[in-house]
Amino acid sequence: MDDAPLTRESLNGLAYGRLCRDLKAGRFAPGEKLKLRDLAAEMGISPTPVREAFARLISEQALEQVGHHSVRVPVMSAARFAEVCELRLMLEGRAAAHAAALAGPEDIARLEQLHRDMAACHEAADFAGELLASERFHLAVYALAGKPVLLRMIEGLWLQCGPLMRALQTRPMAEPRRQHPHQRVLRGLRKADSDTARAGIEEEIERTMAPILSYLHEQQSATAGATATAGA
């Protein structure tokens, strides 16, 4: 039965998991303030677990404290985003390479289904669903590496990138893809080819990074221009 009473720990986990999901799905924009009581009401819980989830996410740099009572999504600079992506390339590529040596037929079948789920969301123009399905695919690959510390580091980087993924809705990839990089990853896993699996992950990160970096540079240029005009 699944009717055990909710404990403080389970409520904290509920709030944290929900906020993580929403951040990674791009629900909240960079700079957006999060309203404690509104989010608690939406989840049907008291403000305390949400407040504790805020504190945890602040420590993970996925949120930031503004003053004494406000919490917002950080505004990431192009330089910081580039640094995060450099770390993603290194850590996620390593995790995929390890996964290729360990993945079995059932693991690969599950990943194939996760990719189909993502493709279905894309066809339905469900952008948030597509992001979440892509995350499930990636984290399932990395979990196969059997390195929980590495996985936790990767999850933290995904949390920081999530709010910027909205930029992909209005900025297409540099050129059409003949085949999604997930297929390259899957090919590497089927053949136990670590280099191919790593290359598929790196390809997707690099292609995703380019339009977001372009967006961040545009934002910084606009801000600098506005500041210069105001000071004239």
Q: Tens of pLDDT along the chain (232 residues)?
A: 345 445 667 888 999 999 998 888 888 888 899 999 999 999 999 999 999 999 999 999 899 998 788 899 998 889 999 999 999 999 999 999 999 999 999 999 999 999 999 999 989 989 888 888 999 999 999 999 999 999 999 999 998 888 888 767 666 555 556 789 999 999 999 999 999 999 999 999 999 888 888 888 887 776 666 655 666 5
Distance CA 1, CA 24 (A): 31
pLDDT score recorded for residue 41: 94
pLDDT at 210: 85
pLDDT confidence of residue 219: 77
Which backbone phi and psi does 70 adopt, to 5 degrees? -110, 145
Contact between residue 216 and residue 81 where contact means Cβ atoms under 8 Å apart: yes
Using DSSP's 3-state secondary structure scheme, residue 93 falls into helix
User: What pLDDT sits at residue 1?
Assistant: 39
